Amino acid sequence: MSPVKISHIRRSPRDGHPSSAWTRGRVVAVVAVLTALLLMGHGAVPNRVGGLGSLLESFLPWLGVVVVPLLVLALVRRSALALVALLLPVAAWTYLFGGLLLPAPEPGADDLVVVQHNVSDENSDPSGTARALADAGPDLIALQELVSPALEVYEKTLAPDYPYRTVQGTVGLWSKHPLADAGPLDIKPRGIEEGWNRGLRAVAHTPRGETAVYVAHLPSVRVRASGLASSWRDESAGLLGDALSAEELSRVILLGDLNGTVDDRALDPLTTRMNVAERGVALSFPAAFPLARIDQVMARDARVGHIRTLPATGSDHLPVAARITLG
């Protein structure tokens, strides 16, 4: 009698029951669901312990990278369950960030082009940095970490194309359009020594009328073993938000190194009052391997249609350029 062939049936090592594409890869599926929940529910992550919520939100787009190894594992396991579960974080990431990848809108004749750059107080080539920023052809250039003698180099290099300027403390604004009512902006948190001045306000007389322009450099944050140290940054963001709320001009542009991303809840005093970029990712820091955009362009009664990075300068930040459609 010929031997009877018995087909191989894959069984689960735990219960001995046959496994299938819908029962394999359950761990991968659970991780995929948790990733989707973190993306959509990041606001529920508490911030009281080590600033965990802000830390997650600072790198929130990178959470989508988790999908890549999960996809490999799902394919290796031949798990339909895991593949279907992976649609959840993909959908969540696309909902939150997919719009940034769409083509930039067509520029308008009256659009303003602005450049924001923390030039670094250790920049060894201020002249080359100034020329690189001017080559982008912006209407406004906002700079932070301006110190002598580099400040004098920026003023001399930018003067021919940008005759209007104001420098307050370590922040400055250069403009092709006349500036008025320029002065310092007090966003100094408690506990920082006197003489700390990293904010300004001016009124730019653009072809579309008066526009209040704010330039700010919020305090730095530090990632420590205990979590995210950001209390000074958070307090300064609140003071800046109060100033924007009290601004009498309807049209406002905010340019600055805010040491936070637009997803970080610590910048809610700003992002709830201002429009952020609709297109473009523009990761700006650190320049050697950009992980986050902490250099921001925001606007009120105007639309930030597109934001992009410019080539590296002598700074540890990349410059960002944005096109603003005035309302």
Residues 96 and 117 in one domain: no
Task: Read off the CATH number of the domain in which 277 is found.
Answer: 3.60.10.10
**In the prediction, which pLDDT does 15 show?**
52
Q: Which residues pair with 100 in a beta bridge?
A: none
| pLDDT at residue 1 is higher than 80 | no
**In the prediction, which pLDDT does 76 show?**
94
Q: Angle between the 80-97 and 67-77 helix axes, to the nearest 10 degrees?
A: 160
In a domain, 5, yes or no: no
What single letter denotes the amino acid at residue 309?
A: T
The pLDDT confidence band at residue 168, using thresholds 50, 70 and 90, is very high
**In the prediction, which pLDDT does 167 show?**
98
Average pLDDT of the residues in 172-185: 98
**Domain boundary, last residue among 101, 132, 163:** 101
Residues 207 and 286 in one domain: yes
Terminal CA-to-CA distance of the chain, rounded, Å?
89
**In the prediction, which pLDDT does 107 show?**
87
pLDDT over 90 for what percent of the chain?
83
In a domain, 7, yes or no: no
Which token pair is 149? 């003698």
| pLDDT at residue 17 is higher than 70 | no
Which residues form the domain of 298?
Answer: 112-326
| pLDDT at residue 306 is higher than 70 | yes
**In the prediction, which pLDDT does 171 show?**
98
**In the prediction, which pLDDT does 9 show?**
46
Residues 83 and 57 in one domain: yes
What phi-psi label fits residue 239: left (phi over 0), alpha (psi between -120 and 50 degrees) or beta? alpha
Count structural domains, the chain.
2
Query: What are φ and ψ of residue 31, in 5° steps?
Result: -65, -40
Q: Residue 276: how many CB atoms within 10 A of its CB? A: 19
Average pLDDT of the residues in 232-259: 97
**In the prediction, which pLDDT does 24 show?**
82
| DSSP 3-state of 299 | strand
Q: Where are the beta strands (DSSP E) in 188-240?
A: 199-206, 209-217, 222-224, 227-229
| pLDDT at residue 12 is higher than 60 | no
Across the chain, mean pLDDT equals 93
In a domain, 140, yes or no: yes
**In the prediction, which pLDDT does 45 show?**
94
Average pLDDT of the residues in 258-265: 97
**In the prediction, which pLDDT does 6 show?**
46
CA angle (241, 184, 313) in 5-degree steps:
85
**Domain boundary, last residue among 77, 101, 125:** 101
| pLDDT at residue 13 is higher than 60 | no
The pLDDT confidence band at residue 18, using thresholds 50, 70 and 90, is low
Residues 84 and 130 in one domain: no
State pLDDT tens for residues 28-56. Answer: 999 999 999 999 999 999 998 889 999 99
